[in-house]
Amino acid sequence: ESSWTHVMSIVAMINLKFNEGLSAWPAFAADPTRFAALFARVIELPAERAAAEGAPAMGDDEHTRWVLFFVRAFASLEDEMVRAQVLRLVSLPMWATLSPRDLAAQLAAQPHLGRPWKKLEKRRAKEAKEGAPLASSRHEREFVPGLLKLFLATLRRAEALGPEEAGVRSLARLLERLLELFTDLMAQLPTRRFFHAVLLDSHLLVHASLSPFGKREAGTLAVQLLGLLDYYERFEVDDHRGVPLSDADVKSARCEQLQALQRKAFSMESLQDFALSNLAAVDTPTALTSHFSRLQPPQLAEIASSLGVVHSNEQGEGFGKGFLVHMLVRRYQRREAQHEAIGSLPLYPGEVV
């Protein structure tokens, strides 16, 4: 079996090929089975290095090269050999990481996924009975959510370092490559389908938008990439059918969300006026911030947990009041329709455009 260093060198050569404007995949086309084995081995590289006795953990630059390999792979869906490996990483099993309430809501909105989900549950139960799950099953369930966790952990490390400390630039590059990958996943319909809910469940956009790292020079590009990811996350398209949403569809979905929020708010004395207000009067960022700021962290956590925005009251309280308010405002605020935003742009370029 090839060593960790050997596999990592293959990853570096593939990245170099793409940097030169060439595709590296034709070199593997003669034997797709061996490529599948290589792909599975690349997925395991960080865990393999961490488990090796006496070996240092993967450095930030190594992690960046590793993530860049997956950026190249997910950008190559037109290649049948590559597509077969990457699409299973962004499939239905990922939803096992969602909060129970959010999972139930997602499955209720897509009834045709009920039977496949039950089959997955039976498979997981069988694997649990037999011992450790297969690596392929674990990859399908945990790989992409693990990348989201890697981003958040890297962001916390970057925040802890001073602007001029060694290692900040390496952390920034890793954050940039991860954001590039997440943006690609959101921008392509085959990968967006199941990833969207997992991205929202991670609250990555909220964490990153509130991070002080974005105000530093090293975080400038990351902030720009975050804006692009946010744009695609808000894109008005049906994730499962791949068709654009009409104004009526968008308004209907937003009204259902706000009505669910109002029903929960009705049980809280301090939000009675919010619960009884017209939807158009409470869906602006200013109005939502004003109402939510009155509440204490346990109350905000209870709202978020009951609506499936967080996994539990304990998790919600751990985020803190400022984070919870920002998260709920972002989730329930009115969004400007994309065609309206485009229509408001000037016909001719000016100082701003």
- For residue 255, the tally of other CB atoms under 10 A from its CB is 13
pLDDT confidence tier of residue 228, bands split at 50, 70 and 90: very high
In a domain, 208, yes or no: yes
In a domain, 313, yes or no: yes
Q: Quick one: 276 exposed, middle or buried, by C-beta within 10 A (0-12, 13-18, 19+)?
A: exposed
Residue with tokens 């061996």: 34
Q: What is residue 244's three-state secondary structure? A: strand
Best mean pLDDT range from 51-65, 129-143, 304-318, 335-349: 304-318
In a domain, 295, yes or no: yes
The confidence score (pLDDT) of residue 352 equals 67
Residues 84 and 114 in one domain: no
Q: Using one digit for the tens of pLDDT, what is the confidence trace for 49-102?
A: 988 877 788 899 999 999 999 999 999 999 999 999 999 999 999 999 999 999
Q: Is 337 in contact with 288 (CB distance < 8 Å)?
A: no
Domain interval for residue 52: 4-89
103 versus 353: the higher-pLDDT residue is 103
The arithmetic mean of pLDDT across residues 1-27, rounded, is 94
Residues 263 and 333 in one domain: yes
In a domain, 302, yes or no: yes
What distance in Å separates the CA atoms of residue 97 and residue 201, rounded to the nearest whole number? 8
Can you give the length of the chain in residues? Answer: 353
Q: Is residue 249 predicted with pLDDT exceeding 70? A: yes
- Number of domains the chain is built from: 3
Residues 293 and 223 in one domain: no
Q: Is 208 in contact with 214 (CB distance < 8 Å)?
A: yes
Residues 267 and 157 in one domain: no
Reported for 318-325, long-range contacts at CB under 8 A and 24+ positions apart, including other chains, are 319/203, 321/296, 321/297, 322/210, 323/206, 323/207, 323/210, 324/292, 324/297, 324/300, 325/289, 325/292, 325/293, 325/300
Q: Quick one: 229 exposed, middle or buried, by C-beta within 10 A (0-12, 13-18, 19+)?
A: buried
In a domain, 349, yes or no: no
Rounded percentage of the chain residues whose pLDDT exceeds 70: 99
Tell me the average pLDDT of the chain. Answer: 93
Residues 106 and 199 in one domain: yes
pTM, full prediction? 0.93
In a domain, 8, yes or no: yes
What distance in Å separates the CA atoms of residue 351 and residue 284, rounded to the nearest whole number? 29
Residues 159 and 228 in one domain: yes
Residues 196 and 107 in one domain: yes
